[in-house]
Amino acid sequence: MSFFRFFRTVHLALKSILLHKLRSGLTMLGIVFGVFSVIAMLAIGEGASEQAQQQVLQLGATNIIVRSVKPPLESSGSNNRVNIYGLLRSDFQLLSENIPTLVNAIPIRESTMEFRNKHHTLNGRLVGCTADYAGVNHLKTRNGRFIDDRDQETMANVCVLGADVADILFPLEQPVGKAVQVNARFYKIIGVSQRRVSTSAIGSALAGQDFNKDIYIPIKTFQVRLGDLIIQRQQGTMTAEKVELNQITLQVGNPDDVMATADVVRETIDRNHKEQKDVDIIVPLELLRQAEQIRQIFNVVLGSIAAISLVVGGIGIMNIMLATVTERTREIGIRRALGARQRDITVQFLTETIVLTGTGGVIGIVMGLTTPYAFDGLQYVVQNFILSGSNATSEVGRIFSDMHPKIAYWSLPLAFGISVGIGIIFGLYPARAAARLDPIEALRHE
Residue 302 has pLDDT above 80, yes or no: no
227 and 117 within one domain:
yes
Sheet containing strand 237-242, edge to edge, reads 82-84, 237-242, 229-234
pLDDT of residue 392: 47
431, 432, 324, 322: which is closest to 17 by C-alpha?
324
| Same domain assignment for residues 232 and 350 | no
Confidence label for 444 from pLDDT (cuts 50, 70 and 90)? low
Whether 258 and 314 map to the same domain: the answer is: no
Cα separation of 212 and 273, whole Å? 32
Least Cα distance to 260 among 278, 283, 280 occurs for 283
* CA 50 to the chain's CA centroid: 5
The domain boundary, picked from 245, 277, 309, lies at 277
The answer to whether residues 394 and 264 belong to one domain is no
223 shares a domain with 162: yes
Phi, psi of 66, rounded to the nearest 5 degrees: -105, 120
Residue 166: inside a domain: yes
Burial class of residue 103 (count of CB atoms within 10 Å of its CB; 0-12, 13-18, 19+) = exposed
- pLDDT tens-place string over residues 364-403: 999 989 888 888 887 777 766 665 554 444 555 555 566 7
Mean pLDDT within 92-115: 91
User: Is 65 a domain residue?
Assistant: no
Q: Is the pLDDT of residue 80 over 60?
A: no
What pLDDT is stored for residue 56 in this prediction? 62
φ/ψ (deg, to 5) at 118: 60, -120
Residue 188 in 3-state DSSP? strand
Residues 223 and 322 in one domain: no
Alpha-carbon torsion, ordered 380, 162, 208, 134, to 10 deg: 120
Is the same domain home to 264 and 121? yes
- Whether 239 is in a domain gets the answer yes
Task: Give backbone dihedrals phi and psi of 370, rounded to 5 degrees, phi first.
Answer: -90, 0
Instruction: Report the alpha-carbon distance of residue 197 to residue 133 in Å, rounded.
Output: 16
How many structural domains does the chain have? 2
Per-residue pLDDT averaged across 243-260, rounded? 88
The whole-number pLDDT of residue 207 equals: 60
Q: Of the candidates 277, 304, 335, which is a domain's last residue?
A: 277
Higher pLDDT among residues 151 and 75, named by residue? 151
Q: How far is CA 257 from CA 56, 137, 270, in A?
A: 18, 21, 20
Which of 123-127, 164-168, 314-318 has the weakest average pLDDT? 314-318
Give domain status of residue 437, yes or no. Answer: yes
pLDDT at 137: 83
pLDDT of 47 higher than 70: yes
Could you say which of 216, 245, 277 is where a domain stops? 277
Residue 172 three-state SS: coil
CA dist 294 → 59, 65, 285, 399, 425 (Å): 19, 22, 14, 18, 32
Q: Give the distance from CA 166 to its chain's centroid.
A: 29
The CA distance from 123 to 314, in Å, is 58
282 domain-assigned: no
Residues 32 and 154 in one domain: no
Q: What is the pLDDT of residue 341?
A: 81
- pLDDT tens per residue, range 176-207: 999 999 988 899 999 999 988 776 555 545 56
Residue 62 lies in a domain: no
Same domain flag for 266 and 151: yes
Instruction: Report the percentage of the chain scoring pLDDT > 70.
Output: 83
Distance CA 109, CA 129 (A): 7
Quick one: pLDDT at residue 192? 95
What is the three-class DSSP state of 12? helix
Is the distance from CB of 423 to CB of 357 less than 8 angstroms?
A: yes
Beta-carbon count within 10 A of 90 CB: 11
Is 366 domain-assigned?
yes
Q: Are residues 82 and 30 in the same domain?
A: no
Of the segments 9-13, 33-37, 122-126, 300-304, which one has the largest average pLDDT value? 122-126
In a domain, 132, yes or no: yes
Least confident of 38-42, 196-200, 336-340, 410-414: 196-200
Supply the mean pLDDT for the chain: 81
Average pLDDT over residues 194-222: 78
How much of the chain, in percent, has pLDDT values that exceed 90?
A: 24
Which residues constitute the domain of residue 127?
70-277
Reported confidence tier of residue 310, pLDDT bands at 50, 70, 90: confident
Same domain, 93 and 180: yes
Q: Phi and psi (nearest 5°) for 170?
A: -130, 65
User: What pLDDT does residue 1 have?
Assistant: 44
Contact by Cβ (8 Å): 423, 356: yes
Burial (CB count within 10 angstroms: exposed 0-12, middle 13-18, buried 19+), residue 131: middle
Do 28 and 113 share a domain, yes or no? Answer: no
Taking only the tens place, the pLDDT of each residue in 339-354 is 778 788 888 888 888 8
